[in-house]
A and B are shown apart, each in its own frame.
Chain A
Amino acid sequence: KQEVTQIPAALSVPEGENLVLNCSFTDSAIYNLQWFRQDPGKGLTSLLLIQSSQREQTSGRLNASLDKSSGRSTLYIAASQPGDSATYLCAVKSGANNLFFGTGTRLTVIP
């Protein structure tokens, strides 16, 4: 069964810093990998979707990379802002039936 791990579990950075969130998965046979953001008590907001044939995706200050062979993805956030504070979840589509989630990284950006 696919296992998804996110490191670190929590991260606190000063405003303006660039940061990297890590995601690793055990089975490289994936359809895609998706990064989500979740604010407290809210649903999940999709940030970036990387198909298995792609290496990276960018949206604004966010860049996500995918190395399928090593089972790793990173989410790079440039020039962090207090509004970026949230929990970030990595999810891997592996098999037709399910999306496998990591446990998340709770990010706090300090003004």
Chain B
Amino acid sequence: DVKVTQSSRYLVKRTGEKVFLECVQDMDHENMFWYRQDPGLGLRLIYFSYDVKMKEKGDIPEGYSVSREKKERFSLILESASTNQTSMYLCASSFRTGYGYTFGSGTRLTVV
């Protein structure tokens, strides 16, 4: 089974801090995605990547950036954390377009 591992289950950060959320998949998937999930808003796509060093904006990229230096790792960066970025962050991967997605267990980020 493909595993998508998110490095932290819970994080508490202060406003203005730079925050790194890490995601690693172990099955050579081409595509990787970052979502945030909020009550009443569902899952919203922040950024995705189709290949190493490639990135595409999703629906809500403002305040975020990403990095994909290796195929298996996709990092989400909050340049200057704000309280409205308090959320559940979910990473996902898929082999290629048209294949199913595998999600990680999520990171609950609280910005105080």
Interface residues on A, range: 20 to 34
A51 to B97, CA, bound (A): 12
Contacts of B74 in A (CB 8 A): none
Contacts of B6 in A (CB 8 A): 43
- The stretch among A28-36, A58-66, A76-84 that forms the contact with chain B is A28-36
Q: A43-B90, A103-B42 are in contact. Are A91 and B56 (CB under 8 A)?
A: no
Pick from A96, A97, A99: contact of B101, CB below 8 A: A99
Tell me whether A97 and B56 are in contact (CB under 8 A). Answer: yes
A51, A89, A96 interface centre (most CB from chain B within 10 Å): A96
Contacts of B103 in A (CB 8 A): 36, 43-46
**Shortest beta-carbon distance from A104 to chain B in Å:** 8
Q: Mark B27-60, 1 if CB is under 8 A from A, else 0.
A: 0000001000000001101001000000010110
Tell me whether B106 and A42 are in contact (CB under 8 A). Answer: yes
How many of B's residues come within 8 Å of A, CB to CB?
A: 23
> Which residues of B1-28 have CB atoms within 8 Å of chain A's CB atoms?
6
**Shortest beta-carbon distance from B84 to chain A in Å:** 20
A97 to B57, CA, bound (A): 10
Tell me whether A34 and B43 are in contact (CB under 8 A). Answer: no
Determine if B108 is an interface residue (Cβ-Cβ < 8 Å). Answer: yes
Q: Give the interface SS of chain B, mostly helix, strand, loop or mixed.
A: strand
Tell me whether B43 and A101 are in contact (CB under 8 A). Answer: yes
Tell me whether A96 and B97 are in contact (CB under 8 A). Answer: yes
Pick from B58, B98, B102: contact of A93, CB below 8 A: B98
A98 to B35, CA, bound (A): 11
A49 to B58, CA, bound (A): 23
Contacts of A31 in B (CB 8 A): 97-98
Tell me whether A49 and B97 are in contact (CB under 8 A). Answer: no
Tell me whether A34 and B106 are in contact (CB under 8 A). Answer: no
Chain A residues with CB under 8 Å of chain B are: 31-32, 34, 36, 41-46, 49, 51, 89, 91, 93, 96-99, 101-104
